């Protein structure tokens, strides 16, 4: 789906404050380490020797350094499984972990729709990851927020209270203070934040409807979510309305307006696929030969409404579909709806 509200048990608390990993701090600050082995190391693997001698670093981290050539045995590269004789000299050059850049400010251009002392509303482009994670430890929205708003580093998750998938475009709200973040999370829990999306799907769904189906991790494919009927699945509710129909490559498509009541991972994508109407361009949930029509899922968060966490006034913002989405609609013979302009 396009947005992901943190599960209840993960909502803002002191436990969510970012804390630097001890390994990261050590690796970033350490100079090369020289170790002289003795007879007690004879017969042991290199990685086991280093894990014993350098307990501040994890074994996996040490193995990675060995593989990358950052560990020399008597002046030469070695392998993790190499056996030591006990008379070697080891030179270890600690390397910062990939996630050491996760919380660093980066000058990333942000499309700020609205901002004041409490919040900022961002129009996120497709392709921008919201916060650091495996494979994306830098170049994220979070890095850009830390650069634009230095004080936001004191707020858990740099003020992020909900997410959009990397390839979903559109509006997000970010809290600049802990108080604002706490109130926004409360509103998300109470389902009083209004999040409306435009989605182009294959086929012709009913004029309107809702999908009330719990979502959980796919039992076999861990990168996918699925509609499930078990205790691990979490309630998910999506309302949709068909705005227009068109054709792409001789196949019918429909432009939907989707309203979220919950915010599960991939919610709109999963719910529409469960009805047989996968999003155009969705390589994860759609058919491969159809996904090639568009380089991302055709999903845009075009309207966001909430109660301002500081003033208590009702606020709403809209963002027109980006150029690639608008061109896709034109290709399908669909006009961009006025309420989304």
Kindly list the catalytic residues. 165
Which residue reads 């203070």 in tokens?
177
Using alpha carbons, select from 105, 234, 114, 90 the residue that is nearest to residue 158: 105
What are the C-alpha distances in Å from 194 to residues 23, 35, 145, 257?
41, 59, 23, 13
Q: What token pair was written down for 201?
A: 């799907």
307-337 core/surface letters (b: 16 or more CB in 10 A; e: else): bbbeeeeeeeebbbbbebbbebbeebebebb
What are the C-alpha distances in Å from 10 to residues 20, 50, 142, 238?
19, 36, 18, 22
CB-CB contact of 254 with 332 (8 Å)? no
CB-CB contact of 86 with 39 (8 Å)? yes
DSSP 8-state code for residue 99? G
**Secondary structure of residue 71 in the 3-state scheme:** strand
């Amino acid at each position: 789906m396009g947005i992901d509200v943190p599960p209840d048990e993960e909502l803002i608390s002191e436990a969510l404050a970012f804390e630097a990993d001890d390994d990261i701090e050590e690796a970033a600050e350490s100079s090369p380490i020289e170790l002289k082995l003795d007879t007690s190391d004879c017969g042991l693997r290199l990685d086991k020797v280093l894990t014993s001698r350098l307990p501040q670093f994890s074994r996996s981290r040490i193995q990675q350094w060995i593989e990358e050539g950052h560990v020399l045995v008597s002046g030469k590269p070695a392998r993790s499984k190499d056996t030591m004789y006990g008379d070697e000299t080891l030179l270890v050059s600690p390397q910062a972990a990939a996630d050491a850049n996760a919380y660093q400010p980066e000058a990333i251009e942000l499309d700020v729709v609205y901002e004041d002392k409490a919040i900022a509303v961002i129009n996120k482009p497709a392709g921008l990851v919201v916060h650091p994670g495996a494979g994306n430890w830098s170049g994220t929205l979070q890095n850009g927020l830390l650069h634009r708003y230095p004080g936001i580093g004191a707020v858990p998750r740099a003020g992020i209270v909900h997410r959009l998938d990397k390839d979903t475009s559109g509006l997000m709200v970010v809290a600049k203070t802990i108080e604002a973040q706490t109130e926004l999370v409360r509103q998300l829990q109470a389902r009083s934040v209004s999040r409306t999306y435009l989605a182009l799907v294959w086929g012709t769904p009913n004029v309107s409807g809702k999908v009330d189906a719990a979502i959980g991790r796919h039992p076999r494919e861990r990168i996918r979510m699925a509609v499930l009927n078990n205790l691990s699945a979490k309630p998910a509710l999506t309302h949709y309305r068909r705005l227009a129909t068109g054709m792409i490559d001789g196949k019918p498509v429909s432009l939907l307006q989707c309203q979220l009541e919950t915010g599960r991972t991939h919610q709109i994508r999963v719910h529409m696929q469960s009805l047989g109407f996968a999003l155009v361009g969705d390589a994860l949930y759609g058919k491969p030969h159809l996904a090639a029509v568009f380089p991302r899922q055709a999903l845009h968060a075009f309207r966001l409404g909430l109660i301002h966490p500081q003033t208590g006034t009702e606020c709403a913002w809209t963002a027109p579909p980006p150029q690639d989405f608008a061109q896709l609609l034109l290709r399908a013979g669909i006009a961009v709806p006025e309420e989304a302009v």
